[in-house]
Amino acid sequence: MAAAAVRGAKQSLRAELKQRLRALSAEERLRQSRLLTQQVIAHSQYQKSKRISIFLSMQDEIETEDIIRDIFQQGKTCFIPRYRFQSNHMDMVRLASPEEISSLPKTSWNIHQPGEGDMREEALSTGGLDLIFVPGLGFDAHGNRLGRGKGYYDTYLKRCGQHQDVKPYTLALAFKEQICPQVPVDENDMKVDEVLYEDSSTCYIR
């Protein structure tokens, strides 16, 4: 597929997925989020991971708040994204507690994140990550991911490969409405190791 065709296919799939997500009721979002939280807590990769990066969820994403609470209850180290909006650069910076989230400044996407001048431990300079929870708009059964078009996670996962001997396990959290027959990809798109969603009984481990 030519680059322009891939771009076009991604744009139309993004529009379709956003529409599907808008149609989800708050109750249904909560129901699937609770179910996935249980799947995560029982997951062997989660249980053995010590250093975990997790996204703070937007309105149309699986709710991660209870997973974040569990990370702290289990004594694991929690990192959250800090996006640089004028580029596709993102760092994973350490979160001190779940309670601290609500006091962090909000971005233009309405997500809490530590400010640029807020000096925090950054995951790749202090030993890397064991597990990365990856957001996205759409996923397919081969671990292909459709992001929001900025390339933050693809770029970050490439950086992990340069900084760590063992690459982090990547686990996507999705509503079942986000699962697609096939996600269009180009050479810059990074696959995820596994997609968790309701009824997902298979792992996509490469």
Q: Tell me if 33 sits within 8 A of 196, measured CB to CB.
A: no
- Could you tell me the pTM of the whole model? 0.93
**Position 105 in a domain:** yes
Q: Tell me if 134 sits within 8 A of 67, measured CB to CB.
A: no
Please report the pLDDT score of residue 206 as a whole number.
39
Residue 11 marked in a binding site: yes
Please report the pLDDT score of residue 205 as a whole number.
42
Residue 95 marked in a binding site: no
Please report the pLDDT score of residue 187 as a whole number.
86
| Number of folded domains that form the chain | 1
Residue 201 marked in a binding site: no
Please report the pLDDT score of residue 33 as a whole number.
97
**Position 201 in a domain:** no
**Position 205 in a domain:** no
Residue 143 marked in a binding site: no
Residue 67: domain span = 3-196
Q: Tell me if 124 sits within 8 A of 159, measured CB to CB.
A: yes
Please report the pLDDT score of residue 1 as a whole number.
67
Residue 147 marked in a binding site: yes
Question: Is residue 95 left, alpha or beta, with left meaning phi > 0 and alpha meaning psi from -120 to 50?
Answer: beta
Residue 148 marked in a binding site: yes
Residue 153 marked in a binding site: yes
Residue 159 marked in a binding site: no
Please report the pLDDT score of residue 109 as a whole number.
80
CATH number at residue 104: 3.40.50.10420
Q: What are the start-end ranges of the E strands in 12-160?
A: 51-53, 77-83, 90-94, 131-134, 138-139, 145-146
**Position 180 in a domain:** yes
Task: Give the rounded distance of the alpha carbon of 186 from its chain centre.
Answer: 19
Residue 63 marked in a binding site: no
Please report the pLDDT score of residue 35 as a whole number.
96
Residue 152 marked in a binding site: yes
Please report the pLDDT score of residue 201 as a whole number.
59
Please report the pLDDT score of residue 110 as a whole number.
85
Residue 151 marked in a binding site: yes
Task: Enumerate residue ranges in the chain where pLDDT < 50.
Answer: 202-206
Residue 33 marked in a binding site: no
Please report the pLDDT score of residue 149 as a whole number.
86
